[in-house]
Structure 1
């Protein structure tokens, strides 16, 4: 029996007392990926009722959503136009409060016909179509709203003045400027001249009220969902993006809270050779602190209307964030950046101070996404504060020594164990295309750095027939680092980076099979045709065993992507490489648009639900 009682003496003890110390299992599910027979073109808030029921049937008690914030028309959930406002396209048109939809039935039927639920990708044209229909509904809302609705709406306006006024104004100014970024607006509006804003409000009061009304409707629907989840003893985890879009109501309204001369990102790593540049501005923490962290407190206050947990996206950025000058050429990605704060000695106190404010000002239990290049102070502070981090199975290894996968009992107790993330491939795709490989661009950059001929080495070291999607797979003949050194023609003291890449990836499939089931290691030594046939036949078993391993870890929570759960028995003929939520560092219609291959109603009837429940039961997560 694992002892989690230390959480009750941590800084987050009140949150733990509310959640309890029970081991729990859950699912990560983007709402845009879900659909039911009632959905109009995209997953809607009321569809979460089906997901809650499915979780209950499978012995799960946590639903982790991706960010639910308004994304404008860019449809990137981690680059939202507001860290407060919810996304209007998730509204259920059949569940609007204090509105009679009978007069709009024909239009609603036509909308559902034009944007049918399902398909491989979301048709984001649904957003504009929904907004147009909702505008028509709003035009009649004074006749269709009872006195209780008016009272509730007015109360909502009063309670959310901190952000709602600026947000609604921002949305309408964008509409009047053909959705152009606020930095392209005329100076009086860009720099918030009070008289100019008042005049604009007078001229556009009805449209401004419409956006406030939308947020109220979203609030009311989401509150109903949370109440239903509570009745089913299922918790909801919200994902609060660490940053907000440069073109957002937050940045426009509080420009001094951001360093607008910098772009956020991440330094290079084994998966992103050029690092990452996200584009969102970084926070000006001294100014935010001077205002008693009002921006941070209000965000948490609003989010706890909907969530029991909240995911702290990119928590390492709270200690220090990678910044790239705005004028740095785009092609350099995140290579030429620096950390902010620059002084490493202040990182620990900087992060502790902000995280303490967050814990003090919410009833939600925080869970931290602590991936990437992690400063040593991060684990220390998270443990002190009782905040779970994240352990990703494929990256949880004995780094720098054996490179074996970490034993389940060695996972941090204050963590969420997961097999994949929304920014990674699914477990199936990782196994098929990435396990045992290295990033081609990263290897190429190392070759350039050390004056080695990349094209020549590429043919000598890697099995190019088995290398796909810019991942290079080692030849079987490269059996150890000595063979690698011979091909590199570099002395060992100058080949350290190459040796590390080799040790991190070579033989990874065999190590993973041995981790899942020691006697399975021999399968990695089969001939290539036999191995491929075995993998196809046994992929479902491999997924199931990987999920069992994640569930059996010491981590207090085990939360898996919906794609990985349903892959236990529902692989069908989907393209495994494309069956993912996001390809980081790319701009593509394939990002943030994945739709599940079956409806929520079909999910509720899956025979594999019994398998999932057994996994959770055996791991004592029910």
Structure 2
């Protein structure tokens, strides 16, 4: 299948797909958690169901953490995902029955590294030669190997606290090899094995007219090879996050350093080019996490009280001269607690500055001046943000033939929507949130935008049946019942009460609605696709969530299904039900 027309092949027809974290679904050849072989094992099931897109969460090396969105490298694959089976190691899970729906990532990783290490050592000389060649062909490996070696040596401590190698220099690789040759080449060999397994997986998908969709976070942990190697590409004095919204009065501070777009543009986004082209070895499509960040990022100074006191970066800012034109002294206004400093001579207004203590005591003329100043650059900033976003996407399109899909959830400014629409870039429409701006009513299936992916849930939300049974209240629930269910009755259920309370019918109807939308793609979380039989999730929905934003990392990112891929393949009733829904909605 030609890479040159990949975009047209993928987006030329209506498609259905499934999304899951790779670790969550085992094959009978897996060791304790899902791995790259799981992807290959899913091909027959996808062919039978008619699903043609398999979306997975990021696979990047998370080091000693567990969130796939907080990696120590934007290139390296986490060895956790390597298939022992495909690596030639005949060892699988100790138990043939999956007894718990949680995994211990670190423990599984340690076990797998022990087995992989023994395999590597069994033919050390030859494996070292192969690893050396892989290093030579992949320039990102040199900084990663130095970082990985020192990261492990310092037990995950931030690189700024290391005794040695605090500043990147490629010559450090020789020093690390001299100190511990075996471990350095082992890390490189692991990346080679992961590369080979994933590249072969993409080939198998392509040969079967199926597509793999990866996930590309735009932010990287501050304790990563990326930041350590190229600190000038980041604003280390700022943390990325989100402004106050319906979910948080004070906003969110994610702790990631902010991208320095000016420095990235100077180098024509070369680091992104290398990253995208490496990812293209593995995926046909890629999800751009937090696409709004390509235009602007909510940025929080390190000394800010909380995320509410951040600002959108980049921005023109209000200059000293602007304040002086209004006969105001910016430093005096800053001391009053209404504005912050971007850099010398440039200021920003705090979110809801007019609610800060002391504002109402100001005279009306001063209040009016501050309001005018706070809005004076909005149009200019939005024009510049749109230009910047378009420029970044122009570069991305020139770097790769993978099809981009934007994660455009939340409060998305009009200029971002306009840009995505003009570029015909696919966004995401979550059914429960896709409503009229005018009256809050649900959007009919035919009213969905074509260039989008419709979905019932995401890895950050509750399952759709938890939303249905627990989160919808009173009149809202009655309205949802009327909108999603009353247009169809399930044969054999003669009583309204039975019809409304049958979970299998409700879930099937919701999936049917998602597949019926005008969206070119409709990709559902695996949990939401289990529409019948013993795999369907009837209760304790919260136990089956992937992530609850704002909660501790160790409480998330550890979900595991209690069945194997092979069980999906042998479940004729579920397979036929999904295929019927796919076919009915013209997504084959």
Q: Could you say which TM-score interval applies, normalised by the shorter chain?
A: 0.7 to 0.9
Give the structure-2-normalised TM-score: 0.82
Asked whether 1:45 is paired with 2:45, we answer no
Q: 1:90 aligns with which of 60, 81, 84?
A: 81
Aligned partners of 2:436 and 2:443 also within 8 Å: yes
Alpha-carbon distance in 2 for matches of 1:272, 1:425: 17
Question: Deviations 1:16-63 (Å, cap 9, x if unpaired)?
Answer: 324251110000011111012111111110111222222211111000
Does the C-alpha gap of structure 1 residues 194 and 619 become closer, same or farther in structure 2, counting only changes over 3 Å? closer
Q: 2:104 aligns with which of 109, 120, 123?
A: 123
User: Following TM superposition, by how much is the alpha carbon of 1:402 offset from its aligned partner in structure 2, in angstroms?
Assistant: 2.1
Alpha-carbon distance in 1 for matches of 2:545, 2:263: 39
Asked whether 1:160 is paired with 2:160, we answer no
Asked whether 1:512 is paired with 2:480, we answer yes
Asked whether 1:599 is paired with 2:577, we answer no
Asked whether 1:409 is paired with 2:446, we answer yes
Note the 1:119-158 alignment, pairs <5 A: 119-124=100-105, 125-142=107-124, 150=129, 153-158=131-136
Question: Which residue of structure 1 aligns with residue 281 of structure 2?
Answer: 305
Question: Which residue of structure 2 aligns with residue 618 of structure 1?
Answer: 584
Question: Which residue of structure 2 aligns with residue 464 of structure 1?
Answer: none
User: Following TM superposition, by how much is the alpha carbon of 1:514 offset from its aligned partner in structure 2, in angstroms?
Assistant: 2.1
Alpha-carbon distance in 2 for matches of 1:403, 1:269: 18
Alpha-carbon distance in 2 for matches of 1:115, 1:85: 31
Alpha-carbon distance in 1 for matches of 2:166, 2:287: 32
Q: 1:546 aligns with which of 503, 510, 531?
A: 510
- Gap regions ≥5 residues in structure 2: 316-380, 490-495
Question: Which residue of structure 2 aligns with residue 448 of structure 1?
Answer: none
SS at match of 1:431: helix
User: Following TM superposition, by how much is the alpha carbon of 1:396 offset from its aligned partner in structure 2, in angstroms?
Assistant: 0.2
Question: Which residue of structure 2 aligns with residue 60 of structure 1?
Answer: 51
Does the C-alpha gap of structure 1 residues 196 and 598 become closer, same or farther in structure 2, counting only changes over 3 Å? closer
User: Following TM superposition, by how much is the alpha carbon of 1:246 offset from its aligned partner in structure 2, in angstroms?
Assistant: 1.0
Question: Deviations 1:57-93 (Å, cap 9, x if unpaired)?
Answer: 1111000010011111111000111111111011111
Alpha-carbon distance in 2 for matches of 1:132, 1:564: 36
Does the C-alpha gap of structure 1 residues 116 and 91 become closer, same or farther in structure 2, counting only changes over 3 Å? farther
Question: Deviations 1:152-200 (Å, cap 9, x if unpaired)?
Answer: x555323211x111111111011211221112112x4112366666534
Note the 1:346-425 alignment, pairs <5 A: 346-399=384-437, 401-425=438-462
Question: Which residue of structure 2 aligns with residue 463 of structure 1?
Answer: none
Question: Which residue of structure 1 aligns with residue 376 of structure 2?
Answer: none
Does the C-alpha gap of structure 1 residues 273 and 599 become closer, same or farther in structure 2, counting only changes over 3 Å? farther
Please provide the CA RMSD for this pair.
2.4
Does the C-alpha gap of structure 1 residues 564 and 273 become closer, same or farther in structure 2, counting only changes over 3 Å? farther
Q: 1:586 aligns with which of 547, 551, 557?
A: 551
Alpha-carbon distance in 1 for matches of 2:104, 2:170: 39
Alpha-carbon distance in 2 for matches of 1:116, 1:189: 46
User: Following TM superposition, by how much is the alpha carbon of 1:244 offset from its aligned partner in structure 2, in angstroms?
Assistant: 0.9
Alpha-carbon distance in 2 for matches of 1:405, 1:354: 33
User: Following TM superposition, by how much is the alpha carbon of 1:538 offset from its aligned partner in structure 2, in angstroms?
Assistant: 1.7
Alpha-carbon distance in 2 for matches of 1:195, 1:57: 52
Note the 1:15-30 alignment, pairs <5 A: 15-30=6-21
Alpha-carbon distance in 2 for matches of 1:203, 1:602: 47
Aligned partners of 2:80 and 2:112 also within 8 Å: yes
Alpha-carbon distance in 2 for matches of 1:294, 1:118: 47
Question: Which residue of structure 1 aligns with residue 159 of structure 2?
Answer: 182
User: Following TM superposition, by how much is the alpha carbon of 1:322 offset from its aligned partner in structure 2, in angstroms?
Assistant: 1.0
Does the C-alpha gap of structure 1 residues 412 and 252 become closer, same or farther in structure 2, counting only changes over 3 Å? same
Question: Deviations 1:491-536 (Å, cap 9, x if unpaired)?
Answer: xxxxxxxxxxxxxxxx322222222134689xxxxxxxx97x875x
SS at match of 2:429: strand
Question: Deviations 1:228-285 (Å, cap 9, x if unpaired)?
Answer: 1112211000001121111111111111111111111112222344322211111101
SS at match of 1:554: coil
Does the C-alpha gap of structure 1 residues 85 and 194 become closer, same or farther in structure 2, counting only changes over 3 Å? closer
Aligned partners of 2:382 and 2:415 also within 8 Å: no
Q: Which runs of 4+ in 1 moved over 6 A?
A: none
Q: 2:465 aligns with which of 415, 428, 441?
A: 428
Question: Which residue of structure 2 aligns with residue 480 of structure 1?
Answer: none
Does the C-alpha gap of structure 1 residues 200 and 336 become closer, same or farther in structure 2, counting only changes over 3 Å? same
Alpha-carbon distance in 1 for matches of 2:428, 2:403: 14
Aligned partners of 2:462 and 2:542 also within 8 Å: yes
Note the 1:239-278 alignment, pairs <5 A: 239-278=215-254
Does the C-alpha gap of structure 1 residues 200 and 156 become closer, same or farther in structure 2, counting only changes over 3 Å? closer
